[in-house]
């Protein structure tokens, strides 16, 4: 490049006096190309800009997930299925940040409504990305024709998106992230309107699905999630059921006939399934990362309480009422769901159950009034009147909050007829039931003091005393399942020393901003947060290490989710879990024992693993089993027997689950995972350090005296016009930091990394400069790699080329063609050795080639360049070819599986035709032969009609496959390796 380039650079910045070295124009051109080049297939170096500028710890499992996710986008995306608390949001954030830095910012994040603000804040706090939350009111206020048409990442709920399918599909999305994706586990069903809308609106769009439980109850849930990515991965549902049907059922018990054969078949099926999903599912377990992610312990204690006589009387009366076979006040088809909820409210507080009973009584009284009018005309059973269920939500007495908690499981909890089979009831029966309901309401209203609440006050006082003595935060999260209990507890605590120190969080009408404000209030001002189940969804409360289960859920998965609010990555202290348990209630005591001893929910480092929780078929099923015990067992011995049977069943399921289903979900050997992650984090640190050094060198060389350096801080006090022009817009001056992104934020500075706008602008500026002649460089041998020792004292040529391949998805490589002069000829170094030259400190020199420049380099240069092109072509063709082969195999298998059902129908039709022909030949009776002829002809017509339909279906399916494969091959094509000379130098290594 020579003096001409130096002159061009001087208006922008000249060689710095305050730096130990300055980059030559030759090196600047290389740095500029490195920062701007397209890095397809180099996931680790590709994600370096996002890692460099992220305010996150460099956890290797998250790095592995981010690179896995980036590589998967070309084939439709993947599932991030790490266990809870391992930072799936960070993994997705790294992918989002990297795409945004590459100018691919059309990103949609679909998250539960309460989590939208949290996503927006984390993208800004951790990655410096501006994102916008969109909902109905904000979209209407903005007045845009398409609410999704924004230049920044957009965050909205799934319902908001699927209710606008036409607008959704008009946007050329670069990525769609779906948080809490397990909510869409049934999306494969034809009847699932949300799933159908998602598939139709987002076909062909790369997706990241985030869920801690990719496999809970059935392989069909995993099938549903993977099908959201791409239906070709696991094929059509009927083919999946036909192929993997064995895995949808439990394995045979020990000693069963053909046990070994069946288990071997199941293992083959699992291996096949694992091979199909491994390219699209990334999962790490907490125990695999314990070496570098330091989890604190969780400890638990029981706060026992004994109800007063009046409380116990109310409990007994309501419990007996709920156990009756015939009830007029509760709709029979919702008996299971409502009974479960009523029992939860009964165990929560007298205040929670009182209002519920009163509403039930009011509803029944209205029915009785209508029935009496009919009874005056004629005496009839009341079956018709009392089976009506219009406006059920107004009559069942449930709080909106508790209805929200169970809305996802309502389909599973709708009555199956086993609980409360309804019979017609007489008017007299209904009046008696109404009288009893009113009596229970009066009893509940008369109880103003709850033993459970008083016990809570004592537990809090003791815990805060201990916390103060140890210097721990005096903060507690209290979980209840009832809004009415929540109000009661707030009033109770404020009257007992916590006035003004209690925050309330629930799911009723609290938007993202309100939730964020409440969490801030709890962290900075108040001591106690009383939260409902729906209210706490998705919260990060690592600053609190005391959690109280005022109402203990029956669903183990809900227990784990609660504890996970506090016991998660970032928690600095052991988490204490206090469980309020009435041990005088045999069923409640045994339930706690089961959760604590068998599932290990409350103690240890990890609590219950996702595999153990998933072994319970579903948390809803577990709740139903517990409800059955409450409903059917009358004595303590019956309760013990029932819980013993439940525990025994659980042990068998957990054992089977740990041995089999865990293997299906890409369980990896822990030691192998740890070893690989160690290597990954070491490589990542090297890549980040190198890219940050390149960014710093380039920026400082271009800025010159327009910036001053003090420690890790760079003060850009003037932005040259040439740099602003290269940026194509505004650039920020002021303080930049070459420390970590977190340190930069603490210093009030911007992070100077490879993805920083000022660095990219500097790279564009240098790249725009004309390439001059030859640079003459003196390389410092004392700081060269030991691998270059044989070259000390040598000299030669150094040509830097950019090699570009592919058109659909181009990739670029920088090739260093280094020639060593050996007498009258030049010998080319291999590419890896040549790449080491760029790490050697260099300065421009007036020294010139010894013996003159008469030796030709053209042949050696061309031969070395041809080898470089061939090596790059071979590497790209091997990698892209392997990817294309996998895509082809996926489409081949999908097409055949789609055709399997119609081909089976044809085989059946042909068999029917052949059977009718044989029957005709064997028949002697003339009348029967006439009937069989008609049957034969009908069967033939059906067979031929099916053949025609099959041919059309085959043409359609094969056509779809050919078009898809053509697109795959187009993207995979390498073609000729295009080359362009970036810079030339003659070097002296001494």
pLDDT of residue 411 exceeding 50:
no
Cα radius of gyration (the chain): 35
Structural domain contains residue 204: yes
What is the per-residue pLDDT for 209?
93
Locate 983 and state its tokens: 């810079």
Residue written as token pair 């969109």: 134
Question: Does residue 708 sit in the same domain as residue 838?
Answer: no
What percentage of the chain carries pLDDT values higher than 70? 81
Q: Give dist(CA 505, CA 536) in Å, integer.
A: 7
- What's the N-to-C CA distance of the chain in angstroms? 22
More confident call, 394 vs 754: 754
pLDDT of residue 14 exceeding 80:
no
Mean pLDDT of 625-640: 68
Question: Does residue 57 sit in the same domain as residue 176?
Answer: yes
Mean pLDDT of 656-673: 48
What is the per-residue pLDDT for 798?
95
Q: Which of 305-314, 671-680, 726-735 has the lowest mean pLDDT?
A: 671-680
Locate 172 and state its tokens: 């050329």
Question: Does residue 824 sit in the same domain as residue 722?
Answer: no
Contact (CB, 8 A) for 565 and 540: yes
Q: Give dist(CA 474, CA 466) in Å, integer.
A: 9
Collect all residues with Cβ–Cβ distance below 8 Å to 405 and sequence separation of at least 6: 481, 507, 532, 533, 534
Q: Give dist(CA 215, CA 224) in Å, integer.
A: 10
79 beta partners: 209, 281
- C-alpha 339 chain-centroid distance: 34
Mean pLDDT of 879-890: 90
What is the per-residue pLDDT for 989?
93
What is the per-residue pLDDT for 661?
46
Angle at 172 between CA 168 and CA 174, to 5 degrees: 110
What is the per-residue pLDDT for 2?
32
| Domain end among 768, 789, 809 | 768
Angle at 163 between CA 159 and CA 168, to 5 degrees: 105
pLDDT of residue 569 exceeding 80:
no
Structural domain contains residue 786: yes
Query: pLDDT-derived band of residue 375, with 50, 70 and 90 as boundaries?
Result: low
Locate 926 and state its tokens: 């003339």
What is the per-residue pLDDT for 106?
93
pTM flag (> 0.85): no
Question: Does residue 477 sit in the same domain as residue 491?
Answer: yes
Q: Which of 18-27, 684-693, 729-738 has the lowest mean pLDDT?
A: 18-27
| Domain end among 649, 677, 704 | 649
The pLDDT tens digits for 442-463 are 999 999 999 999 999 999 998 9
Q: How many C-beta neighbours within 10 Å does residue 655 have?
A: 11
Contact (CB, 8 A) for 941 and 922: no
Residue 532 has phi, psi (to 5 degrees) of -90, 170
Measuring CA to CA, how many Å separate 848 from each of 428, 776, 834, 988? 115, 7, 21, 9
pLDDT of residue 470 exceeding 60:
yes
| Domain end among 716, 733, 768 | 768
More confident call, 920 vs 23: 920
Contact (CB, 8 A) for 106 and 131: no
| CA atoms within 13 A of residue 730's CA, in its CB half-sphere | 2
Question: Does residue 777 sit in the same domain as residue 746?
Answer: no
Measuring CA to CA, how many Å separate 150 from each of 107, 204, 677? 9, 20, 37
Question: Does residue 636 sit in the same domain as residue 709?
Answer: no
Locate 522 and state its tokens: 């709890």
What is the per-residue pLDDT for 895?
94
Write the DSSP assignment of 948-961 as a string of letters. Answer: HHHHHHHHHHHHHH
Mean pLDDT of 843-854: 79
pLDDT of residue 362 exceeding 70:
yes
Structural domain contains residue 974: yes
Among the listed residues 88, 102, 6, 85, the one whose alpha carbon sits nearest the alpha carbon of residue 49: 102
CATH no. for residue 499?
3.40.50.300
What is the per-residue pLDDT for 538?
67
pLDDT of residue 656 exceeding 80:
no
Among the listed residues 211, 210, 206, 184, the one whose alpha carbon sits nearest the alpha carbon of residue 197: 184
Strand-strand pairing, 528-532 and 476-480: parallel
Residue written as token pair 């003004």: 500
Question: Does residue 764 sit in the same domain as residue 778?
Answer: no
pLDDT of residue 965 exceeding 70:
yes
Query: pLDDT-derived band of residue 390, with 50, 70 and 90 as boundaries?
Result: very low
pLDDT of residue 794 exceeding 80:
yes
> What are 962-967's contacts with CB under 8 Å, separation 24+?
964/232, 964/887, 964/891, 965/887, 965/888, 965/891
Question: Does residue 760 sit in the same domain as residue 779?
Answer: no
Structural domain contains residue 364: no
Question: Does residue 713 sit in the same domain as residue 784?
Answer: no
Query: pLDDT-derived band of residue 603, with 50, 70 and 90 as boundaries?
Result: very low
Question: Does residue 901 sit in the same domain as residue 877?
Answer: yes
Mean pLDDT of 415-431: 60
* Most confident among 27-31, 820-824, 848-852 (mean pLDDT): 27-31
pLDDT of residue 6 exceeding 50:
no
Locate 794 and state its tokens: 């040598």
Q: Give dist(CA 358, CA 230) in Å, integer.
A: 51
Q: Which of 111-125, 504-518, 882-896 has the lowest mean pLDDT?
A: 504-518
Question: Does residue 804 sit in the same domain as residue 826?
Answer: yes
What is the per-residue pLDDT for 118?
83
The pLDDT tens digits for 769-784 are 887 789 999 999 999 9
Query: pLDDT-derived band of residue 423, with 50, 70 and 90 as boundaries?
Result: low
Structural domain contains residue 679: no
Query: pLDDT-derived band of residue 960, with 50, 70 and 90 as boundaries?
Result: very high
What is the per-residue pLDDT for 27?
92
Residue 233 has phi, psi (to 5 degrees) of -65, -50
Element (H, E) at 216: none
Residue written as token pair 């006090």: 717
What is the per-residue pLDDT for 528?
94
Q: Which of 65-79, 631-645, 774-788 has the lowest mean pLDDT?
A: 631-645
Strand-strand pairing, 825-828 and 502-505: unpaired
Query: pLDDT-derived band of residue 953, with 50, 70 and 90 as boundaries?
Result: very high
Query: pLDDT-derived band of residue 46, with 50, 70 and 90 as boundaries?
Result: confident
What is the per-residue pLDDT for 64?
84
pLDDT of residue 681 exceeding 90:
no
Write the DSSP assignment of 92-154 as a string of letters. Answer: HHHHHHHHHHTT---EEEE--GGGHHHHHHHHHHHH----EE--HHHHHHHT-SSTT--SS-E
What is the per-residue pLDDT for 651?
59
The pLDDT tens digits for 514-551 are 777 888 899 999 999 999 876 666 678 889 989 999 98
Mean pLDDT of 274-282: 88
230 beta partners: none
pLDDT of residue 726 exceeding 80:
yes
Element (H, E) at 987: strand 978-989
Measuring CA to CA, how many Å separate 548 from each of 9, 449, 463, 705, 772? 65, 20, 11, 60, 72
Structural domain contains residue 791: yes
What percentage of the chain carries pLDDT values higher than 90? 29
Question: Does residue 752 sit in the same domain as residue 806?
Answer: no
What is the per-residue pLDDT for 325?
80
pLDDT of residue 176 exceeding 70:
yes
- How many structural domains comprise the chain? 4
What is the per-residue pLDDT for 618?
43
Is the backbone of residue 737 left (phi > 0), alpha (psi -120 to 50) or beta? beta
The size of the chain, in residues, is 990
What is the per-residue pLDDT for 611?
45
Q: How many C-beta neighbours within 10 Å does residue 247 have?
A: 18
Structural domain contains residue 273: no
Query: pLDDT-derived band of residue 624, with 50, 70 and 90 as boundaries?
Result: low
Structural domain contains residue 348: no
What is the per-residue pLDDT for 571?
80
Mean pLDDT of 249-275: 84
pLDDT, the chain, mean: 81
818 is in which domain, residue-wise?
A: 773-989
pLDDT of residue 328 exceeding 90:
no
What is the per-residue pLDDT for 537?
66
């Amino acid at each position: 490049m020579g003096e001409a380039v130096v002159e061009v650079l001087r208006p922008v910045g000249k060689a710095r006096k305050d730096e130990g070295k300055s980059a030559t124009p030759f090196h600047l051109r290389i740095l500029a190309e490195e920062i701007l080049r397209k890095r397809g297939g180099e996931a680790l170096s590709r994600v370096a800009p996002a890692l460099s500028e992220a305010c996150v710890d460099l956890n290797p499992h998250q790095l592995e997930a981010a690179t896995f996710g980036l590589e998967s986008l070309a084939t439709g995306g993947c599932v991030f299925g790490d266990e809870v608390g391992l930072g799936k949001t960070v993994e997705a954030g790294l992918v989002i940040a990297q795409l945004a830095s590459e100018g691919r910012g059309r990103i949609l994040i679909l998250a539960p409504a309460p989590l939208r603000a949290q996503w927006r804040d984390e993208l800004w706090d951790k990655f410096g990305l501006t994102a916008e939350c969109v909902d109905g009111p904000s979209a209407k206020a903005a007045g845009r024709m398409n609410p999704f048409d924004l230049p920044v990442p957009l965050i909205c709920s799934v319902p908001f998106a699927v209710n606008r399918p036409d607008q959704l599909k008009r946007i050329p999305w670069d990525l769609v992230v779906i948080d809490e994706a397990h909510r869409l586990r049934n999306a494969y069903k034809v009847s699932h309107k949300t799933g159908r809308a998602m598939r139709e609106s987002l076909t062909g769009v790369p997706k990241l699905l985030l869920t801690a439980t990719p496999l809970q109850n059935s392989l069909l849930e995993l099938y549903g999630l993977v099908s959201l990515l791409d239906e070709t991965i696991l094929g059509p549902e009927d083919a999946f059921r036909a192929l993997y049907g064995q895995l949808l059922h439990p394995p045979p018990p020990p000693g069963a006939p053909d046990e070994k054969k069946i288990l071997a078949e199941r293992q083959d099926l699992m291996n096949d399934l694992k091979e199909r999903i491994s390219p699209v599912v990334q999962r790490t377990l907490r125990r695999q990362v314990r070496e570098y992610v330091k989890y604190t312990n969780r400890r638990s204690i029981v706060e026992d309480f004994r109800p007063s006589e009046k409380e116990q009387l109310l409990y007994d009366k309501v419990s007996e009422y709920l156990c009756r076979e015939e009830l007029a006040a509760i709709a029979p088809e919702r008996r299971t769901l409502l009974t479960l909820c009523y029992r939860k409210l009964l165990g929560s507080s007298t205040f929670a159950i009182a209002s519920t009973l009163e509403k039930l009584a009011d509803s029944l009284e209205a029915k009785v009034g209508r029935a009496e009018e009919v009874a005056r005309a004629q005496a009839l059973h009341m079956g018709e009147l009392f089976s009506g269920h219009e406006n059920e939500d107004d009559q069942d007495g449930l709080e909106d909050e508790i209805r929200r908690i169970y809305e996802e499981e309502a389909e599973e909890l709708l009555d199956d007829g086993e609980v409360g089979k309804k019979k017609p009831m007489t008017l007299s029966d209904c009046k008696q039931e109404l009288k009893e309901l009113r009596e229970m309401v009066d009893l509940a209203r008369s109880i103003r003091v709850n033993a459970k609440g008083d016990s809570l006050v004592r537990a809090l006082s003791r815990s805060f005393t201990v916390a103060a003595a140890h210097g721990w935060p005096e903060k507690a999260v209290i979980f209840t399942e009832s809004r009415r209990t929540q109000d009661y507890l707030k009033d109770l605590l404020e009257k007992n020393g916590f006035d003004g120190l209690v925050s309330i969080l629930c799911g009723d009408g609290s938007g993202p901003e309100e939730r964020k404000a409440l969490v801030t209030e709890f962290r900075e001002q108040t001591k106690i947060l009383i939260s409902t189940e729906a209210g706490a969804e998705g919260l990060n409360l690592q600053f609190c290490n005391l959690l109280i289960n005022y109402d203990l859920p029956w669903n183990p998965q809900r227990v784990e989710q609660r504890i996970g609010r506090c016991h998660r990555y970032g928690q600095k202290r052991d988490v204490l879990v206090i469980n309020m348990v009435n041990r005088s209630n045999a069923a409640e005591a045994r339930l706690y024992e089961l959760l604590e001893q068998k599932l290990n929910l409350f103690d240890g480092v990890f609590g219950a693993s996702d595999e153990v929780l998933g072994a319970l078929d579903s948390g809803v099923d577990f709740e139903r089993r517990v409800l059955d015990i409450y409903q059917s067992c009358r004595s303590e011995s019956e309760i013990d027997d029932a819980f013993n049977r439940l525990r025994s069943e659980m042990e068998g399921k957990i054992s089977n689950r740990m041995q089999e289903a865990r293997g299906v979900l890409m369980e990896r050997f822990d030691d192998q995972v740890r070893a690989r992650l160690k290597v990954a984090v070491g490589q990542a640190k090297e890549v980040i350090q190198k890219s940050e050094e390149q960014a710093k060198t380039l920026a400082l060389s271009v800025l010159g005296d327009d910036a001053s350096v003090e420690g890790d801080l760079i003060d850009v006090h003037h932005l040259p016009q040439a740099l602003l022009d290269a940026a194509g817009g505004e650039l920020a001056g002021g303080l930049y930091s070459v420390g970590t992104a977190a340190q930069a934020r603490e210093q009030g500075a911007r992070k100077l990394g490879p993805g920083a706008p000022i660095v990219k602008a500097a790279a564009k500026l240098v790249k725009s400069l004309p390439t001059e002649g030859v640079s003459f460089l003196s390389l410092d041998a004392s700081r060269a790699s030991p691998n270059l020792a044989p070259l000390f004292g040598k000299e030669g040529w150094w040509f830097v080329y950019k090699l570009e391949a592919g058109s659909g998805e181009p990739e670029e490589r920088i090739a260093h063609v280094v020639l060593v002069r050996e007498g009258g000829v030049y010998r080319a170094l291999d590419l890896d050795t040549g790449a080491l030259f760029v790490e050697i400190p260099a300065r421009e020199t007036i020294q010139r080639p010894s013996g003159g420049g008469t030796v030709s380099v053209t042949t050696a240069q061309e031969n070395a360049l041809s080898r470089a092109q061939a090596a790059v072509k071979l590497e790209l063709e091997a990698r892209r070819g392997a990817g294309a082969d996998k895509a082809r195999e996926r489409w081949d298998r999908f097409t055949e599986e789609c055709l399997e059902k119609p081909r089976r129908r044809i085989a059946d039709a042909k068999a029917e035709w052949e059977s009718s022909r044989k029957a005709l030949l064997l028949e002697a009776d003339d009348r029967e032969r006439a009937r069989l002829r008609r049957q034969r002809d009908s069967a033939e017509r059906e067979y031929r009609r099916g053949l025609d339909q099959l041919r059309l279906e085959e043409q359609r399916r094969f056509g779809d496959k050919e078009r898809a494969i053509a697109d795959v091959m187009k993207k995979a094509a390498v073609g000729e390796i295009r080359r362009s000379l970036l810079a030339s130098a003659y070097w002296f290594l001494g």
